[in-house]
Structure 1
Amino acid sequence: MAVVARPTPPTSQIVVGILELLDGHTDREHGVSAAWIAERLGVTEKTVRGHLHTLEEIQPFGRRIGRIMRRDLEHAESADPRPGWYIEPVFGTAQMRLLADGAGISRSDGDYLRDLIAKVYSFAGRSAHVDDMGGTRTPRNYNREFLNNIELLNDAIDHERSIGFHYCTYDVDGSLVPRRDTKGDVREYRADPYRLMYRNGKYYLICHMQSYESLSYLHVECIRDLRVDGDDHSVERTLESFNPHPGVPFDLDRYMGERPYPMSETAVPIHLRISKTLEPVYDWFDDAKVTRLDGDVYDVWIMANEYAVLCWVLQYASTRLIEVLSPQSLRESLRDTGAYLAGLYAGAV
């Protein structure tokens, strides 16, 4: 009985097959041989080697393809390093860690997060380490519309479309419930969306609430029943119309950097004296201007909103590290707050 030779696959199929095998079975400490690839694709080892050398030269999709030599594995971290051909992961280990940790701190569905983080690990060539990432818990009262809202808000921001929505607050059991007006009806809100930004453990939508004159900062997890206008450029006001420095582009990152807590009041120069450590300053204000006075005492200037700095200083009050030197209005606000607290707790034992 004659043996029928299996037809050779077309070149495109071979190349795709090689890339899929490299992507699925290799990383920086685990390679595969040309013979191993050839066996799985049903082609000759010579054919595979030719394509591998071509791919090594062109670096498809910006990803390096090369060979891991035994000498490269002398300090390998994995228990079973293996020389051979490999494709460079999409993400490095540090990038993978940042992306995975960023996803992990969002208040979203635990199963979805685990799937997302697993994909990040696979892009970094670390699929085998997914079980080491720990548990991902679904918050008890998370907003089930959160992920869909992110997609809709991105679309609205890209096309300058106004949005309508309900906005939630917390009930006594911690569940999210829509805000209501004085008649008891669920309140309807409209806004012009500008940017999504992560700050202080919260995911914010920076926007213009159309019933107000200033910028607003909404917790994305509190948005419900989100609706996006169908027409492009339907926003009532552009972000640039809130620019505190007309004539130069609105630097929103700098603007938010002057507000340790998101709020719209004007940023002003604030003069501080800090003792012992500068961590409270640079943990919150990247652009602080600092001069060492004597030993571990520092003269500090920041640009920030007064009320935000009031809240910021109070959280460090027990450490006695920070003194506000100016403006006088902020010193008076701190004095009044201190007097209120002293009176409130005067009878405490």
Structure 2
Amino acid sequence: MSRMADDDPSRASRMSQASRTPRTPTAQIVVEILELLAAHTDREHGLTAAQIAARLGVNEKTVRTHLRAFGDMTPLGRKVGHLGRADLAHAESADPRPGWYIEPVFDTAQMRLLTDGVMLSRPDGEYLRDLIAKIYSFAGRSGQLRGLTRLDTPKNYNTEFLNNIELLNDAIAHERAITFHYCTYDIDGRLVPRRDGDGTIREYHVDPYHLMYKNNLYYLLCHMHVYDGLSYLHVDRIRDLRLDEADHSIVKRLDDFSDEPDRPFDITHHMAQRPYPVNGPAVPISMRITGPLEPLYDWFDDADVTRAGTVTRNGTARPVYEVHVVANERATLWWALQYADGGDIEIIAPSSLRERLREVGARLAATYATTDAADESSPCA
């Protein structure tokens, strides 16, 4: 938190008053008091009426009158109050300061969540630093920016990313179709546009519906006109985004993909059924889990779990659970494979998912049948 200089208040007041017109307009005083509180106070640092008067070069009685009036209202939607020493008895900062303060726009928890969300988007480093600085200042924490003096821009940063977010928001709000190029990685890890077989850059025509974070990636939920179902695209891979020139209207609305006719599409429910964002229906899935339930509830919010007994492994009793979820098969396949090493998750039904897991297991067994194959083919062997 930046601190106002505590020189001689009377001297500062005389100097400020000398440079002012004889009668400062009341509206100007009100604005300047609020600006001063916003810049120099928070829930653990206040300013006295005398300090404010000295800084603004106005009568202390005038300042007190306005401060009391602020206390009976919420200017700019923010509470103005007074901190006494008793209020600061358990302050966490090293230099708590009694006096008048204005409530920050964001509390510390909200600031942290917003900042982490900004970090996930991986924008340009300099823009990121400035944006986080604004979030911190709204939370009255501008003095904590010392660690944000330098933030690196990601190697594959999309210079169009921020502009694309604005265009996507507008297109979604006004139900307008969009056109863009979509990128993949080249051998050096750079993002390059996808191309058709003849080398022409492929162009995609899309109905945009929703922007969302999932698994630390920023997705556009949309309908690509060349497909029947929904698609989930990485926003940072979109290039040359623009509204369709011939017809701005979307081909399909999101509600057209609802599982229940005549009912709105429930996007929260839809995404909860997909540990990974993939297209296709959600089906009832049964499984048996031995041991902790973290792998389940870290990915599935609405699981139905029943305790089914106990087994002993290596002398340790472990609980066994019967679990039922409604989820996309392909997404559940990927989820189950990442926990296959422990052998604590067994898919019971549907049989189609068990068969897909068996096929993947057979391919892995064939690939790694000879454990020293890589060493034998190595020129250094």
* Range of TM-score over shorter length: over 0.9
Distance in 2 of aligned mates of 1:310 and 1:289: 19
- Figure out how many residues of one structure are paired with residues of the other and give that number: 347
Q: Aligned to 2:39, which of 17, 24, 35?
A: 24
Deviation at 1:132, TM superposition (A): 3.8
SS in 2 for 1:86: strand
Distance in 2 of aligned mates of 1:134 and 1:117: 11
SS in 2 for 1:58: coil
Deviation at 1:114, TM superposition (A): 1.0
Does the CA contact (< 8 Å) of 1:159 and 1:233 recur in 2? Answer: no
Q: Could you give the per-residue CA deviations for residues 282-324 of structure 1, whole angstroms, max 9, x where no partner exists? A: 1111111111122411111111111111111000000111000
User: TM-score, normalization: structure 2?
Assistant: 0.88
Distance in 1 of aligned mates of 2:74 and 2:147: 31
SS in 2 for 1:343: helix
Report the residue type matching 2:143 in the other structure.
A
Verify: 1:73 aligned to 2:88, yes or no.
yes
Verify: 1:325 aligned to 2:340, yes or no.
no
Does the CA contact (< 8 Å) of 1:30 and 1:84 recur in 2? Answer: yes
Q: Aligned to 1:84, which of 85, 99, 114?
A: 99
Q: Give the gaps of 5 or more residues in structure 1.
A: none
Q: Could you give the per-residue CA deviations for residues 257-290 of structure 1, whole angstroms, max 9, x where no partner exists? A: 1011111111000001111111111111111111
Deviation at 1:41, TM superposition (A): 2.0
**Cross-structure match for 1:181:** 196
Distance in 1 of aligned mates of 2:308 and 2:147: 47
Does the CA contact (< 8 Å) of 2:210 and 2:221 recur in 1? Answer: yes
User: TM-score, normalization: structure 1?
Assistant: 0.96
Distance in 1 of aligned mates of 2:49 and 2:78: 19
Structure 1 pair 40–178 and aligned structure 2 pair: CA distance change class (3 A): same
Greater CA radius of gyration, 1 or 2? 2
**Cross-structure match for 1:112:** 127
Distance in 1 of aligned mates of 2:78 and 2:234: 38
**Structure-to-structure mapping, 1:151-162, within 5 angstroms:** 151-162=166-177
Verify: 1:213 aligned to 2:236, yes or no.
no
Structure 1 pair 177–162 and aligned structure 2 pair: CA distance change class (3 A): same
Report the residue type matching 1:21 in the other structure.
L
Report the residue type matching 2:216 in the other structure.
G
Distance in 2 of aligned mates of 1:61 and 1:83: 22
SS in 2 for 1:299: strand
Deviation at 1:72, TM superposition (A): 1.3
**Structure-to-structure mapping, 1:189-228, within 5 angstroms:** 189-228=204-243
Cα RMSD after superposing both structures: 1.7
Distance in 2 of aligned mates of 1:135 and 1:262: 33
Deviation at 1:201, TM superposition (A): 1.4
Report the residue type matching 1:292 in the other structure.
R
Q: Aligned to 1:287, which of 302, 305, 309?
A: 302
Verify: 1:341 aligned to 2:341, yes or no.
no
Distance in 2 of aligned mates of 1:114 and 1:131: 11
Distance in 2 of aligned mates of 1:194 and 1:89: 33
Does the CA contact (< 8 Å) of 2:178 and 2:248 recur in 1? Answer: no
Distance in 2 of aligned mates of 1:97 and 1:232: 42
Does the CA contact (< 8 Å) of 1:160 and 1:232 recur in 2? Answer: no
Q: Give the gaps of 5 or more residues in structure 2.
A: 1-17, 311-318, 373-381
**Cross-structure match for 1:169:** 184
Deviation at 1:140, TM superposition (A): 0.9
